[in-house]
Amino acid sequence: MGSLVVFLVAFPTLTGGLLLGVRNGNARNAIVVLAGLVIVAASIVTAATYGNGAAVFFDLPGGLSLGQALLAVQIAIAAFVVVVGIRYRRVFAPVLVLGQLAISVYLEVSGKLPEPEAGRLFWFDQLTMIMVLIVGIVGTLICVNSLGYMRGFHRSSPMIKGRRTVFFALLFVFLGSMFGLVVSNYLPLMEVFWEITTLCSFLLIGYTRTDETVGYAFDALNLNMIGGLGFSGAIYLLAGQPNGLDLARITAGPASAAVMPAIALLCVAGLTKAAQMPFSRWLLGAMYAPSPTSALLHSSTMVKAGVFLLLRLSPAIAGSNLGTLVAFNGMLTFLFVSFVAVTEQNTKKVLAYSTIGSLGLIVGCAGLGTPELIWVGVMIIIFHALAKGLLFLVVGTIQNRFYTKDMENFDALLSRLPRVAVLALVGVSGMFTAPFGVVVAKWTAIRAFLGMPGAEGAVLLVIMAFGSSLTIFYWGKLLIKVLAMRPVSDYERTIERRVSRFEWFSEALLALGVVIATLGLGVLSERVVGPYALTTFPSASQSFLHVDPVVLLTMLVALLFLPVMAFWAGRHERYEMTDFYAAGRPVAAGGMVGMALGGSRKVSLRNYYLEGVVDGRLAFRSGTAVCACLLVTLVAVGVVGR
């Protein structure tokens, strides 16, 4: 097992290093595809080796000394951030990273940093297995997609200097460090990987090096470094505790008062990485990065690291005030960003808000910590990674074809890009119309809230009900745009042919993944996610594991209905077609309608964004403010230790 894990971490990292030297496009394509295959295979083999049994703990093969290696990496990271900070004249990030480094140096030099207990460097259980598979499979598919996407991206933006060697290298380094993050049990080890992912995110967001994106990249860096500092602070506090740096041990049950403050700081780290309010800002800025970055880092994998940590912490915080506060932070984030999403016109931003919302739900589940809610959280992770990853990739493909992110320009997708539209429909169905993953999760969450005592349950129910309705609204708008059909010119029909093989392949596979996950929901629930939930929170009742066959059937039908209908409709035009009603006026080609006093105008349809009723900016700001207060309380409560 140890060697497999080392391979998972090392191989992508080394591939990344290799890619730095490869300038030839074809060679790069080949290396990426081959390396991707290896990574997928390795992920599957690792998962199979683990075999879904009890949790496994192990060391590096050969037992290398870790402390100094970790410190070396941290120094490198700090140096890099300082250099970059100087270059772009930003102070905040260097200060934070130096603070982090100071803590690490102090601990190492003063000898206060305990070595990991023998055989407990790494931790592998069902959750790890799920994360490994997600990172390996979804991550690889996104890398493959980038091969096609980046070609189109640079073609449409010739003023941006291409640094694709760096881009792809970063993607692979990132995959390596994600693997490292999810298997770590020794907190300082996890922290290093955590920091590397932050750095990768920073570099990838700032890929185009325009002033704007540099600003956003630093936003991401700053906010994530706050979390990183919290992580370091937690390590500092835990260094003095027995078994303090063994994640599995400190989260085995409710946290003791001694450990609480550190756990609170770790929660903060998780919240920043998962872009929860008040830290959501960085994820929105990250939308200016190329779409595969958005898919990989900011929906399928990196932000999952944040909720992954929170899920790990769940047994430690469940039932305590800290846990409840964390849960409310998550749920309120969900509510507020759903409000904002309704007013947003930029499709990628809508997807970003939706991501933050889904992560908020997971955070809510982690904070409350019951077997059902853990089940919900893990299910959301799985389905969200697949469906949202797919959606970002599809939006990227569309963007490259239409040169726009404005949802108003995505209309009649079914007519203009029929096959892409089918894939988009699978993605959206996966997120929402199918009472699928996310909705099944919401349903179970509601059930769990029903079981909670006191006012909390009521408030959470209300938040869930309103938030959920808001998601229907913005997904509905997107769906309408995708499904609209109108006559298309011959030229328009040719646009879809320019979608690259890499994009088709990766997006189709992800769509297939969504379908398979739905089909296998019962198996997934009873064999993998359920046992994980029950080991974390033992419970007598196991009814939530079993998925009612009626439910499963409905979900499958609902999932497949739209894409299948869309596919069929795109091919059959056997009805008596007629114009749409335009107050009796005939509709000329191109949607032009004659006006009453002469002349003609094109019919232009625009979504409602609820102006006048919902103010998006106000919603975002108030959410940030409310959650900031909540966060302060959270830390205070943690520090006080109850």
Partner 1 sequence: MSFFSKSPWILHYDASSCNGCDIEVLACLTPLYDVERFGVVNTGNPKHADILLITGSVNERNVEIIENLYRQMPEPKVVVAVGACACSGGIFARAYNIQGGIDRVLPVDVYVPGCAARPESIIDGVVKGIGALEQKRKKSA
Partner 2 sequence: MNPIAYAALFVLLAPLFGGLLAGIDRIASARMQSRVGPPLLQPFYDLGKLLQKDARQVNPIVEPLLLGHAGFMAATGAMLLGGTDLIFVAFVFALASLFLVLAAGSVNSPYSFAGAERELIVMLASEPFFILMLAAVCKVTGASSYQGVLGSTVMVAPQLPAVLLAFAFVATIKLRKSPFDISTSHHAHQELVSGLTSDMSGRLLAYVQVAHWYESAILAALLVLFFNWSVPLGLGVFAIVYAAEVLVDNSTSRAKWQLVLRSTWVVTLLLVGGNVLALFLLK
Binding-site ranges for partner 2 (CB under 8 A): 412, 414, 433, 435, 439, 442-443, 446-447, 449-450, 452-459, 461-462, 464-466, 468-470, 472-473, 476-477, 479-480, 483-486, 548, 550-551, 554, 558, 561-562, 565-566, 568-569, 572-583, 591, 603, 605, 607-608, 610, 612-613
Q: Is 417 left (phi over 0), alpha (psi -120 to 50) or beta?
A: beta
- Verify binding: residue 578, partner 1, rule CB under 8 A: yes
Asked if 396 and 403 count as a contact pair (C-beta separation under 8 A), the reply is no
Q: Give the range of 175-183, 193-201, 207-215, 577-585 binding partner 1 by CB under 8 A.
A: 577-585
User: In angstroms, rounded to a whole number, what is the distance separating the alpha carbons of residues 162 and 606?
Assistant: 35
Is 631 strand, coil or helix?
A: helix
Q: Give the range of 1-9, 56-64, 190-198, 583-591 binding partner 1 by CB under 8 A.
A: 583-591
Binding mask 531-570 for partner 1 (x = CB under 8 A): ----------------------------------------
Nearest CB to partner 2, comparing residues 249 and 447: 447
Asked if 312 and 247 count as a contact pair (C-beta separation under 8 A), the reply is yes
600 secondary structure, DSSP code: E
Asked if 506 and 146 count as a contact pair (C-beta separation under 8 A), the reply is no
User: In angstroms, rounded to a whole number, what is the distance separating the alpha carbons of residues 510 and 513?
Assistant: 5
- Verify binding: residue 585, partner 1, rule CB under 8 A: yes
Q: Give the range of 399-407, 538-546, 563-571, 576-584 binding partner 1 by CB under 8 A.
A: 576-584
The entry of partner 1, partner 2, none that residue 504 binds, CB within 5 to 8 Å by partner kind: none
- Verify binding: residue 491, partner 1, rule CB under 8 A: no
Q: Which of 21, 453, 584, 612 binds partner 1 (CB under 8 A)?
A: 584
Phi, then psi, of 243 in degrees rounded to 5: 60, 20
Nearest CB to partner 2, comparing residues 258 and 564: 564
Q: Give the range of 364-372, 401-409, 448-456, 579-587 binding partner 1 by CB under 8 A.
A: 579-587
Nearest CB to partner 2, comparing residues 82 and 593: 593
Nearest CB to partner 2, comparing residues 565 and 639: 565
Q: Residues with Cβ < 8 Å from 300, sequence gap 6 or more?
A: 134, 138, 139, 142, 384, 385, 386, 388, 389
Tell me which amino acid residue 497 is: R
The entry of partner 2, partner 1, none that residue 461 binds, CB within 5 to 8 Å by partner kind: partner 2
Q: Please list the alpha-helical segments (H only) found in 429-529.
A: 437-450, 454-483, 490-495, 501-519, 521-523
Is 425 strand, coil or helix?
A: helix
- Verify binding: residue 110, partner 1, rule CB under 8 A: no
Taking the complex as a whole, the smallest distance from the CB of residue 584 to partner 1 amounts, in Å, to 5
Taking the complex as a whole, the smallest distance from the CB of residue 587 to partner 1 amounts, in Å, to 8
Binding mask 586-615 for partner 1 (x = CB under 8 A): x-------x---------------------
Q: How many CA atoms lie within 13 A of 297 on its CB side?
A: 37
Q: Is 117 left (phi over 0), alpha (psi -120 to 50) or beta?
A: beta
# chain residues binding partner 1, by CB under 8 A: 7
User: In angstroms, rounded to a whole number, what is the distance separating the alpha carbons of residues 360 and 425?
Assistant: 24
- Verify binding: residue 581, partner 1, rule CB under 8 A: yes
Asked if 203 and 192 count as a contact pair (C-beta separation under 8 A), the reply is no
Q: Where are the beta strands (DSSP E) in 374-463?
A: none
The entry of partner 1, partner 2, none that residue 51 binds, CB within 5 to 8 Å by partner kind: none
Taking the complex as a whole, the smallest distance from the CB of residue 580 to partner 1 amounts, in Å, to 9
Tell me which amino acid residue 220 is: A
Taking the complex as a whole, the smallest distance from the CB of residue 120 to partner 2 amounts, in Å, to 42
- Omega into 278 within 30° of 0, i.e. cis? yes
The entry of partner 2, partner 1, none that residue 106 binds, CB within 5 to 8 Å by partner kind: none
The entry of partner 2, partner 1, none that residue 585 binds, CB within 5 to 8 Å by partner kind: partner 1
Overall size of the chain counted in residues: 642
The entry of partner 2, partner 1, none that residue 586 binds, CB within 5 to 8 Å by partner kind: partner 1
User: In angstroms, rounded to a whole number, what is the distance separating the alpha carbons of residues 269 and 309?
Assistant: 9
Distance of CA 572 to the CA centre of its chain: 37
Q: Is 412 left (phi over 0), alpha (psi -120 to 50) or beta?
A: left
Taking the complex as a whole, the smallest distance from the CB of residue 583 to partner 1 amounts, in Å, to 9
User: In angstroms, rounded to a whole number, what is the distance separating the alpha carbons of residues 123 and 132?
Assistant: 12
What is the binding site for partner 1 (CB under 8 A)?
578-579, 581, 584-586, 594
